[in-house]
Amino acid sequence: MGSLVRHDAAGLEQMAQHDEWQFLLAGEGERRWLALGSHPAVGVRQQAVQHRLQVRLSRQDFREQAQATLRQWQRWRDAGLAVAGYVGYDLGAALEGIQPQRNATMWPDADLCAFAPDDLETTTLPTFAPRAALPLPDSLTQQRAWFQHAVGQALDAIRAGEVYQVNLSVAADLRFAAQRLVPELLAAILTVQPVPYAMVWKGASATLLSGSMEQFLRVQGPAVQSRPIKGTALRHAEAMADQLAAQDLAHSVKERAENTMIVDMIRNDLQRASHWQSVRVATLCAPTPYATLWHLESEVHGTLRVPDDRVALLTATLPPASVTGCPKIQATQVIGRLEHRWRGPYCGALGLDLPGVGLDLAVGIRQVWLEPDVATLQVGAGIVAQSDPEREWQELCIKAQSALRLLATLQDGGC
């Protein structure tokens, strides 16, 4: 059965593993976490956490549990508390009535904490030297045939008219035993891939590392925006080759089609919680540079009908459209049929809801889970009618490099 697990202060103290921080977040660039201001990193120490909610969905009352999670979030916010943590992909799917997948290893479907806004602290981060990526683990490369077969099945669903696009992912485990404190983990994320939305979250038995470049939702007053990413290309050291890669990405029929479909879904999701005709596309398919990759990004704006209603907004928008497919419910059903496993925090939403400042959530991508002796990474690719199974596999392996560079830096790097 599923459960809503609440921890008192004594229980939270026992969960402290090698570190006193519950979470830290940092970011780079103009779109970084809105709570950062001029600070390099902000976070909350475990002793400042007043309430904690961990959710594991059951197969009987999963939808009610998902809704109850959002209602608890709302109650904390209405009481003047800040909220931080993540809601997983499967919890978002449960809001749409889709039964969660299950496998042997299972982290919470949501993990949230509440604290006084004044307890949000600033801190500086150590410096790391980047390392070359670890080799692709066997647990990933051995899934090549399965992934390409799954892409073929997704293409069959597209040709049958069931979906237009579907996001498929692969999870891989590797032995990993390096122990680092939360500030070091966050510093390593930004060393490997400077992104707007880097976060370290301490779970009960594992630590979530997320280096996301994708904004899911940003709310300031009644204004809401989302910046979906679809479309990836490698960057090049030589300026002319780098610009050609950006131009090729910007003119790719396949990548533009995929991005445009996701934008249309986000327009629909935001409209469910926004004033009629307030939703508009501010940017469409703009090539955006990161340290090692180009991405196609768009931006969608809206004006919320009830700015403080987190239940309505998150019910309307979870799980993030960019990591499901089009149409969302059918694509989520196809994902469950093909992947046969739980996604957890991956492809969910994580971030911070700070009274007087706003809500800032990132899409849960570029993630690594650290357990005592195992690291788990998960990467995905969007499949459309023009997709080629081999090219999608190569893109997936490119995306895995950031996680493998992160693990190499944590394993061998000094600070």
Please write the tens of the pLDDT for every residue from 212-237: 999 999 999 999 999 999 888 888 99
Q: Which two tokens stand for residue 47?
A: 């002793």
214 classed as catalytic: yes
Q: What is the fold of 3-412?
A: Anthranilate synthase (3.60.120)
Regions of the chain short of the pLDDT cut 70: 1-18, 102-106, 413-415
Q: What is the pLDDT of residue 17?
A: 45
User: Which residue is catalytic, options 230, 255, 328, 392?
Assistant: 230
User: Which residue is catalytic, options 28, 184, 202, 214?
Assistant: 214
Q: Which two tokens stand for residue 391?
A: 């090219």
Global pTM value = 0.91
Q: What is the pLDDT of residue 258?
A: 86
Q: Which two tokens stand for residue 26?
A: 């940092």
Half-sphere exposure of 65 (CA within 13 A, CB side): 27
Q: What is the pLDDT of residue 52?
A: 97
Nearest to 285 by CA among 325, 256, 314: 256
C-alpha 328/C-alpha 335 separation (Å) is: 10
Q: What is the pLDDT of residue 414?
A: 52
Domain boundaries, the chain: 3-412
- At how many degrees (to 10) do helices 62-78 and 310-317 cross? 140
